[in-house]
Structure formats: structure tokens, C-alpha cells
Amino acid sequence: MNAVNQTQTNKVQAFEPKIIAYLCTWCSYTGADTAGIARLKSPANIRAIRVPCSGRVSPEVILRTFEEGADGVLVLGCHIGECHYDNGNHRTAKRLPILRALLSFAGLEPERLKLDWVSASEGERFSKITTEFTQQMRELGRARWRIPTQQWHAFHPLMEAPGILEIKPNGSKTGEVKALEYRPSGTYQKIEAGIQETAQRLLSSGEVSCVIGYERGPRGRVRPVFISKSDQVDRLVWNPECTHNLATYLSQKIHDGNQHKPSDTEDQQAVAVVAKACDSRAIQVLLTENRFPREKVHIIGVVCDGMQQSIPVHQRITESPVSPMDNAYSPAYQARCLNCDQRTPLIYDTLIGDSEKTVPKVGNPIAHQLDILEDNPPLERMEYWLSQFDRCIRCYACRQACPMCDCPVCLYERDDSLWSGMGTGLIEKRAFHLGRAFHLAGRCVGCNECERVCPMDIPISLLNLKLAQEIQNAFDYQAGLALEPSPLVTVLSGEERLS
Amino acid sequence: MKYIQKADLLAWLDITAWEKNLIAPRKIGNQILYQPIENSSQICWDYIRPDLSLKEAFFPPTERLFMMKSNSQQVELVESMPEEEKIIFGVRSCDALGVQMLDELFLENIPPDPYYAKRRENTTLIGMTCSQIGADCFCTQVGGAPDDPRGLDLMFKEVEDGYLLQVLSEKGQEIYESLPKASDYYGKMPDRPRGKPLFIGAPESIDWESHFDDEYWMELSDRCLGCRICAYVCPTCRCFDVRDEPIAGQPGAFERLRSWDSCVRENYRQIAGGHNPRAAKGERLRNRFYCKFFYYPQQYHTSMTVACTGCGRCIEACPVNIDISEIISHLLEVAR
């Protein structure tokens, strides 16, 4: 009697992981059948979901699977070269390691997501992979990824961030603040005059219908401006506050407001845009993605000396427009500029400025933060990120400011709540931020506009940089350096370093 | 004038935080937000105004209106009424005024909104007048003041070593009675708040109808990103969306949710079939200002002339410097 009880208790206590296996119908699913016919054992923990191709298993599906409480996700496809659709599994092979890195950065143990190849005849291999994976998950224990169903509150107490990182204002996360070394003010004025002159020429010749640049607002803040009359070009300014990435506005201006409707070439307007080096990279990505024809944009490239951090609100001088040089507040370089050695835009039609001097490169404070985070165990990282996402109010400023985020309807804002609900729960906010980060993998140029515009100071740049690093390590690719598409949408070349 | 010493007030706050649900401005990272407080040391005293408005107290970013449970034959509806009582300390006048404007929609509009009404009933607002006017503040230009008592139950004003207090309602009287010994004050009256409010002119004198077709709106909206910061930080923006969603982990259970929305977002006005009456960004941005200064006074008979409390949050938070004060000045100038 006792012995029976004992066995029952053991049964209850032993942890049995829930594993979802996405099996390609052409190979692995049949492979599972082969295993069955051969009477090979596969663990009962595996819940198989048949998919038309491993390439069909989108990152959102995997994220959702973990959100719903899976302890492990197994994606099995055809061996490379044997895909029924020629190269569907190439996508999987490239995408999954990047997704695994993102999930791991956000606090999931990387072992929980496994990709492997099983052909229809490899029943034994199927049995082996599933048995090993199940055993590994059993040892890892329950996944902590799932967030319990939320209660909606007015003023829910925000999670406190674990003391891993002390977030200082405006990206100066290590406190490594390097004061901006202003070029003699003549440098800025010379560039400013150059921009105005070019704008004047382009507008009066009718070459473009609009010049997108920067102006100083009546209360002193620098902001984007759209000049369409040649007598207004003196509104254009250039100084270290011109931080906005104006590439964001290009599609919309070229397609005359209908950015989501394909327009005929005759309906498109030619537009000129002032671009820093980082902005020019964004334009290269947009051109690669065929958002607009090259000839519709005249790029006024400006040699950049680095941008300053935005001035804290209460130190902002509001009475009269002042040049930043007169300001009592001593501004520092933005974190992204401290690691930038590209002063000259990579693509331009007109270049303004003198490209000989170099920006003082003092290392990358954002990467430093990233390293600190990575040195912490997964659970701490998860706690950190949840505490950051917790502050999100879903204003979508990050997405709206991003030149790359241009979907007609954002996946995370669909009326049918398919990928994330409309609420401001942690589940939705994490799904949005991680999903968006993945959508930017291989496309994000690190302009950090998303983080700058965030009213709640969420360190989005850390997520983007993490994926940029992963992409660089795996594919030797940096977004926007050339007119070449993201490696995540092309076939394997055999030279990738994929884990 | 009644007066309470700072130490006494802190002691009272500690007890209240222990016994009740106390909300007060608190510093979280770089933000100052109205947050639940466990003791008085968590309260932030040096602030212009919290970065998000008070509307969340009555009109949360997301709330469940009711839950639907279905099993094969029956559908059961479960009401979801907010029961929690709250005391909110450190409320700025602009936020309290914002709540009065929300009342027009949620309470005085028939039928009144039961969720909002319940929260309003269960909440006590304790104000703290401003000692510093922020760079983007303009409450005095839209009918408010740094020490406007409207909407508050009790109001404190900082003086040396303590606070003057003013009881403004029955709820305030209850709080007053629970406070430790208030004495009469004969000392120096506090200075006027430091700083000068932003000058914007008189928005109510603008002939809004005549500006509806101005090219200005389209030009202004060129740089608008179409994000929702302005609406979400605003104490009077009150648009929401309602949707039914399944509850994760509970098969057959659904909840009807209400979440904040913003008229500036692209598909806000889109209707079945895909038509969008406010397809252009300029039309959407224009609506935001018309709603504040034209539609609101036209639709509600209210003591407030405009649906803006001058808190300046939208000016401060807009990433591309769309500035309500600049827009008003522009329209006044055009009229001249």
C-alpha cells in the first residue's frame, strides 16, 4: 500500500515539461510517423503541430507559444537543400538563432528553443531528438516566461527594476558623459548656409517639391520642417540639436500622404531630405526595401559632428530662441554618437560639410550596458525587462518615430487582437516590444529615435543593439551600410555563423 | 487659516498609507508618477506635476467592463465594478480641473458611466498647490490657477515648516477630522509660485469655425508622427476603444475591455468597409485641437470654457515639438 502511494506521489511530483513541436508536414511530421511505425519511443511530452514548412513558423508564433506556457519549443524542418519549397527552411535556419538570442536576452533560457532537421525517413533521429530535448527540459524545470493573467488596475504599482543597471537620463547609461566639443560656431553656420543654398536651388529649379529639414521653433526647440517655397529656406537650421531621423517622413511625402497605397510614378513627388550619416543608412534600408524610387529623393548629406542629448525640460530655456552654445546647461553627446565613426553620409546627392575631422569615438555606452545585462542570469534579465516594459503606456511613439516601422496595420494593433490584445497588460507590452525588436532585426540602423521619443524612458536601444550585434556576428551584416537586403530575407550562402 | 506641521502631515501619511490605499507622486526612474505609496518617504515633494495625469484614477488605461463565461448552453455575464477606495495626495490643480472635465462626459452625460462614477465616489482628492510654475505651464491662461480649489476635497499649501490647509468638501472634512491637531496660522503667507506661465492668449476668442479649412493644419501635421503621447499624457483626453477579448488560460471566458485611444492615430475614425473620414493626418491633428477648444465648449454646458487645463504635458512630451501654445498664438495672429 505504502509502495503504491509512494509511486503515485512520485508521479505527481516529477516535473513533466510541456513541449510544443512544430513539424514540417513534408519531412519531420512524416519522420514522426516513421518513428511510430518502427515502434520507436518518443516522449509523450511532445505536442506536435503540423505546419506546411518550418519557414511558416513565424517568430510571433514561437513567442506566443512560450507566452501560453510552453516549457520548450521544438522546430523541426527538412534538411537544408531538401525543402519542398526550395528555400523555406533557409529562413528558419537564419531566423531562429536570432530569435533565440532575443528571447535569451529577455530572460528565457536559450536551450528552450531548439531547431533541428529531420527527414521523412529518419524516424530514429526524430525519436532521439525528442527524447533528448524532453530530458533537457525536464532538467531545466518549468519555464518562467508565462505571465499570469492580469488584473486591470488604475495605478497599478509599477515593478521596481532590479539594481542591475542604473538608468541615467538620455542614454548616458554608464554616466560616461562626454561633453560636446562644439566646433567653432562658424562650422554650423557654414553647413546651415550650405543646406539653405541647396534647398533654394532644388526648390526654385522645381527639381523637388519639398525639402525636409530642421527648423528652430518659436520657443527654442529644434524640430522637423517641410519647406516647399524657395523664399522660406532661411528657416532651415543646422546644429547639434538636429537629432530627428527625417527618413521617417520620406515615404509619406513622396507618396503624397498615401504611404500605404502604391502610387503610380507620376503621382509621386520628388523630395529632398537633410540626412546625417545614421539617417543615410536608414534611407539605404528604405531604398533596399523598395519603399520609393531612388530618383524621387534628393539626399542632402550633412557631415555630422555628433548630436547632443536633449536638454532636461526644466533647464530648457523657453523665453527666446537661443543657440545651445549660450545655454547654461552643458550638453553631452548622445550615447549612440559616442560610438559612431561615420561622419559622412553613405549615400547622398549633395554633400555639405568638411569630412576631415573625426568624431571622438570613446566606446559604446549602450553596448557596455548590454554586456552588464548579459552577465546576469536569465531570471534577473527577465525581471529587468519586465520592469522596463511595465512602464510602457502603448503610445506607440517608438514605432511612429521609426523609419523602418511602416506597416499599414501594425501586427500588434490589429482589430482582431490576433498577436496582442489592446490592453496595457505586461503580456501585451512584452509581446509588442520583443516583436517589434525582431521585426527590426537586420533593418535597424541604431538611430535610437525610438528611445529618444519614449515618454517613459524605456531602453529600447538595448534590444535593437543586441539584435544588430547578433546579425553582425552571424552574417557580417550591418543594416544600411550598402544597398543590400537584410540577410534574414535571403537564402543561405553557407558562410553564416549560426548557432 | 488652519495650519499643520510637516512632521504631523508625514505621520498622518504614514498611517494612511498603512491603513488605506494611498496614491501620491513618486519618482520611478526618471519619471514622477502618481503611484501607490507604502510610506511617506516614497513621496516625491519636488515636482512641477507628475508626468502622467490623474485621469488614470477614474479612467484607467485598460479596464474590464464585464466578463463573459460560456459553457455549452449558457452564457454568464459577470459584472466587474471597481470597489477599491483611494486617497490621492499631492494632486495639482490642473489635474483636478481635468477630472471635472471628465465628469462632464462620464457623469453628466446621460446615462452616466457606472465604472467612472463608482471610482469617483470612492476617491478622495487631496491637492497640493504649486510652488513652481513649469516651463510649459499655462493654467492661468485657460481659466485655472496654481491654487485653483475646483475638484479637490482638501487642499494643502506649503508654508515654512508646514502646510496651510483648506477643507473643500464633505470628504475633505472627513480627512480633516482624521488629521492630527491643526492650529491657526498667523505667520507669513506663502509667496506666489516661482516662474511665469507661458503666454498663449485667449483661445476662447478665436473663431474656430472660420479656421476649419485652413491650410495651416496640413502644414502643421507634416511633422506629426501620429503617436499618442499627447492624448495619453493629457488630463482631459477621454477617447476610448472597446473590444471583446478571450482571457488567456480560461477557455470559454471573454472580457469586454475598454482602453485609451487617441484621435491622432491613423485608423481611429475608420469605419466598416474601410472608409476613413479623417484620412489625412492634418484632419486628425486638427480634430485634437478642435475637440479641446471648440467641440467641447459647444457640447457641454460647463464652467470651463475649454477642455484644456494648461498643464503643458503635451508640449513637454511631443517628440516633434507640436506646441498647443504656438497653435493658439498662430490663430490669434491670423485673426488680427
Are A270 and A194 in a shared domain? Answer: yes
- Quote the pLDDT of residue A105: 96
Q: Where are the domains of chain B?
A: 2-335
Beta-carbon contacts of residue B299 (< 8 Å; ≥ 6 apart): none
The mean pLDDT value of chain B amounts to 91
Give the Cα separation of A258 and B280 in Å (integer).
Answer: 9
pLDDT in tens, B42-66: 999 989 999 999 999 999 999 999 9
Asked whether residue A232 is assigned to any structural domain, the reply reads: yes
Residues of A in contact with B268 (CB under 8 A): none
Q: CB distance A422–B82 less than 8 Å?
A: no
Rounded CA Rg of chain A:
26
Best mutation target among A212, A219, A225 (most B Cβ atoms within 10 Å) is A219
Does the ipTM surpass 0.90?
Answer: yes
Residues of B in contact with A167 (CB under 8 A): 29-30
- Quote the pLDDT of residue A318: 39
- Quote the pLDDT of residue A316: 47
Q: Domain total for chain A?
A: 3
- Quote the pLDDT of residue A486: 92
Q: Looking at residues B112-121, what average pLDDT do you find?
A: 95
- Quote the pLDDT of residue B29: 78
Whether the predicted pLDDT of B68 surpasses 80:
yes
Are A204 and A335 in a shared domain? Answer: yes
Instruction: At A293, list the grid cell.
Output: 524610387
Alpha carbon distances (Å) from A228 to A43, A206, B192: 68, 10, 46
Q: Looking at residues B314-331, what average pLDDT do you find?
A: 93
Are A336 and A372 in a shared domain? Answer: no
The structure's pTM equals 0.92
- Quote the pLDDT of residue A161: 72
pLDDT in tens, A397-443: 999 999 999 888 899 998 888 888 899 999 999 999 999 999 999 99
- Quote the pLDDT of residue A371: 87
Asked whether residue A4 is assigned to any structural domain, the reply reads: no
Residue A36: CATH number of its domain: 3.40.50.960
Give the Cα separation of A489 and A321 in Å (integer).
Answer: 47
Name the nearest CA neighbour of A396 among A341, A460, A352. Answer: A460
Whether the predicted pLDDT of B331 surpasses 50:
yes
B267–chain A nearest CA distance, Å: 9
Q: Which of A300, A332, A352 is the last residue of a domain?
A: A352
Length of chain B: 336
- Quote the pLDDT of residue A1: 41
Are A329 and A394 in a shared domain? Answer: no
Q: What is the domain range of residue A109?
A: 16-140
Size of interface A-B (CB pairs under 8 A): 148
Are A91 and A22 in a shared domain? Answer: yes
Minimum-distance CB partner of B63 among A152, A249, A314: A152
- Quote the pLDDT of residue A255: 86
Q: Which of A352, A372, A387 is the last residue of a domain?
A: A352
Please, what are the averages of pLDDT over each run of 10 residues along chain A (499 residues)?
A: 49 82 96 94 94 95 94 97 94 96 96 96 96 96 88 77 55 48 71 95 95 92 94 93 94 77 72 96 95 94 86 46 43 78 90 72 78 89 92 94 91 88 91 96 94 91 95 95 92 86
- Quote the pLDDT of residue A364: 76
Beta-carbon contacts of residue A14 (< 8 Å; ≥ 6 apart): none
Three-state DSSP string of chain A: CHHHHHHHHHHHHCCCCCEEEEEECCCHHHHHHHHHHCCCCCCCCEEEEEECCHHHCCHHHHHHHHHCCCCEEEEEECCCCCCCCCCHHHHHHHHHHHHHHHHHHCCCCHHHEEEEECCCCCHHHHHHHHHHHHHHHHHHCCCCCCCCCCCCCCCCCCCCCCCCCCCCHHHCCCCCCCECCCCCHHHHHHHHHHHHHHHHHHHHCCCCCEEEEEEECCCCCEEEEEECCHHHHHHCCCCCCCCCCHHHHHHHHHCCCCCCCCCCHHHCCCEEEEECHHHHHHHHHHHHCCCCCHHHEEEEEECCCCCECCCCHHHCCCCCCCCHHHCCCCCEECHHHHCCCCCCCCCCCEEECCCCCCCCCCCCHHHHHHHHHHCCCHHHHHHHHHHHHCCCCCCCHHHHHCCCCCCCCCHHHCCCCCCCCCCCCHHHHHHHHHHHHHHCCCCCCCCCHHHHHCCCCCCHHHHHHHHHHHHHHHHCCCCCCCCCCCHHHCCCCCCCCCC
Whether the predicted pLDDT of B38 surpasses 90:
yes
pLDDT in tens, B153-180: 999 999 888 899 999 999 999 999 998 8
Are A289 and A390 in a shared domain? Answer: no
Are A35 and A93 in a shared domain? Answer: yes
Are A190 and A325 in a shared domain? Answer: yes
Are A213 and A121 in a shared domain? Answer: no
For B64, nearest residue in chain A (alpha carbons) = A152
For A224, nearest residue in chain B (alpha carbons) = B223
- Quote the pLDDT of residue A463: 96
Name the nearest CA neighbour of A412 among A403, A420, A400. Answer: A420
Are A224 and A368 in a shared domain? Answer: no
pLDDT in tens, A113-146: 999 999 999 999 999 999 999 999 999 999 999 9
pLDDT in tens, B241-291: 999 998 887 888 999 999 999 999 988 998 988 899 998 999 999 999 999
Angle between helices A28-37 and A123-140 (to 10 degrees): 100
Residue A83 sits at the vertex; the CA angle it makes with A78 and A84, to the nearest 5 degrees, is 120
Are A339 and A387 in a shared domain? Answer: no
For A424, nearest residue in chain B (alpha carbons) = B62
- Quote the pLDDT of residue A428: 92
Are A266 and A391 in a shared domain? Answer: no
- Quote the pLDDT of residue A322: 39
